[in-house]
Amino acid sequence: MGIRGHWRDGGATLALAPEAGAAAETAGGTAAGTARGTAAGAAAGTAGRPAEVPVEVAASYRARTRGLLGRDGIEGAMLLTPAAGVHTFRMRFAIDVAYLDRHLKVIALTTMAPGRLGLPRPRARHVLEAEAGAMASWGLRVGSVLRLRPDSR
């Protein structure tokens, strides 16, 4: 599993790089270079924010279709790939949705209540879902670049 490799269903760890979004905003450029590193840089974390978040990867058609349906919550997040849009029909809780481009850069963020249909984002290649409020507590914002480390199998 990787940015250029084949994605597979399973577990992974999302390394949050809060400085990546800030660097992109202050420099006016992209922080794509940070997406290729290891999670060691984010291991220290910052006060009040987790350094790493557990992620369920849903890459198969069946896993993407099932998504978070029928659950009462999620520990961490779920990455749908490939995906450009989501819905919350038959969901039991509100979710935060981050639309990611091919380099795992956040291009849009929104919170969706149950029973809603989100508009697809043309440049989005992946969608990250978490319980409502989680992404704000992680410090995730538009321009942040995420790093994904697959769990050992």
pTM exceeding 0.85: no
- Mean pLDDT on 35-41: 32
pLDDT, one tens digit per residue, over 82-123 is 999 999 998 999 999 999 999 999 999 999 999 999 999 999
CB 137 within 8 A of CB 49: yes
Q: How far is CA 149 from CA 34, 68, 88, 95, 101, in A?
A: 13, 21, 27, 23, 17
Residue-level pLDDT at 42: 36
